[in-house]
């Protein structure tokens, strides 16, 4: 198995609302595949949004919405100021700030927001995780 993630798909209750949120965050929806699903190119990874029941059915598991899924997505920034900007943009787009930006025990600056469907995103500036020009990060 190659060491990479190709696609992250989020289960959503309201596809239109979720698409509007991510577009307000600055993502551009791919227009070639739009029937009941939304895809956004994010560097070398694709973010997909698909109806909660459809995704559960596709995976062969019961649908429904529980508590914390045990998963968070992360967006690493190039500066501490960008953490604050991304959190403010998320809130303005209809997201909810779960944890305001603050100093991390590991020395960086970070916070969390939930999108309109409750999916957690960590936004962090980690000076020990260099970000290449193409947006990819490398472990120290």
This prediction's pTM = 0.83
Sorted by sequence, the CB contacts under 8 Å of residue 136 that are 6+ apart come out as 43, 44
pLDDT tens-place string over residues 12-67: 999 999 999 999 999 999 998 889 999 999 988 999 999 988 888 877 877 777 76
Q: What whole-number percentage of the chain has pLDDT above 90?
A: 64
Q: What is the mean pLDDT of residues 61-85?
A: 85
The dihedral region occupied by 116, where left means phi > 0, alpha psi between -120 and 50, and beta the remainder, is: alpha
117 pLDDT band (50/70/90 cuts)?
Answer: very high
């Amino acid at each position: 198995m190659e060491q990479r993630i190709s696609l992250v798909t989020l289960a959503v209750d309201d596809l239109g609302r979720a698409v509007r949120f991510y577009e307000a965050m600055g993502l551009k929806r791919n227009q070639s595949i739009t029937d009941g699903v939304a895809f956004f190119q994010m560097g070398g990874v694709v973010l997909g949004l698909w109806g909660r029941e459809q995704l559960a059915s596709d995976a062969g598991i019961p649908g429904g919405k529980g508590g914390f899924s045990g998963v968070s997505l992360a967006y690493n920034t190039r500066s501490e100021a960008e953490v604050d900007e991304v959190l403010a943009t998320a809130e303005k787009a209809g997201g909810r700030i779960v944890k305001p930006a603050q100093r991390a025990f590991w020395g960086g600056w970070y916070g969390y927001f939930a999108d309109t469907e409750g999916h957690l995103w960590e936004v962090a500036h980690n000076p020990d995780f260099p970000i290449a020009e193409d947006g990819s990060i490398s472990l120290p």
